[in-house]
Amino acid sequence: MPRRGHVSKRELVPDALYNSKLVTRFINCLMYSGKKNIGSRIVYDAIEKLSKFNNNENGLELFKKAIDLAKPIVEVRSKRIGGANYQVPIEVKTDRAVALAFRWLLKFARARKEKSMAERLSGELAEILKNTGATMKKRDEVHRMAEANKAFAHYRV
């Protein structure tokens, strides 16, 4: 946090192919060393392969649906009360939920064994749409943790 004033959020420019700010945000999370051209090529190829997996449905709609499915609704935050640390379940704000979904998706896509990153990414997105895969397992784990600590919800921050 800055010492002086509030830092406003920068406005994202929609991507060239789909005219979507969500895709731009995902490309920005994916790229290494500022290589946006390579990142955008990977994402566009993955969305194209995803639409081929699902009987040539609209790839962008499938991508948005997969991100919505991967977003967590609640998470736990640690709160110190009287010398004890409690895991307090808290609802996740929209921006953070999308960021977590992106982070998990990229982490588990990079760990897959397919040959190219586009194939790994499309495979993970396809598994999310089938409600399987490592990303969905992680989201369910976070939800289960929040459910288990529901008793501490009254300590909400």
**pLDDT averaged per 10 residues in sequence order, the chain, 157 residues:** 87 93 95 94 94 87 95 93 90 95 96 94 94 95 93 81
The pLDDT score that the predictor gives to residue 77 is 92
Q: What pTM does this model have? A: 0.91
Contact in structure between 136 and 127 (CB atoms under 8 Å): yes
* Unique residue bearing structure tokens 């290494």: 32
The pLDDT score that the predictor gives to residue 9 is 87
b/e sequence 92-130, b meaning 16+ C-beta within 10 Å: beeeebbebbbebbbebbeeeeeeebbbbbbbbbbbbbe
Structure tokens at 17: 């192919």
The pLDDT score that the predictor gives to residue 69 is 95
The pLDDT score that the predictor gives to residue 154 is 84
The pLDDT score that the predictor gives to residue 11 is 93
Q: Which CATH architecture has domain 21-81+91-155?
A: Orthogonal Bundle (1.10)
Output the CA–CA distances (angstroms, integers) from residue 79 to 86, 94, 99, in the order listed. Answer: 5, 22, 22
DSSP 68-136: HHH--SEEEEEEEETTEEEEEEEEPPHHHHHHHHHHHHHHHHHTS--SSHHHHHHHHHHHHHTT-SHHH
* Unique residue bearing structure tokens 């895991």: 87
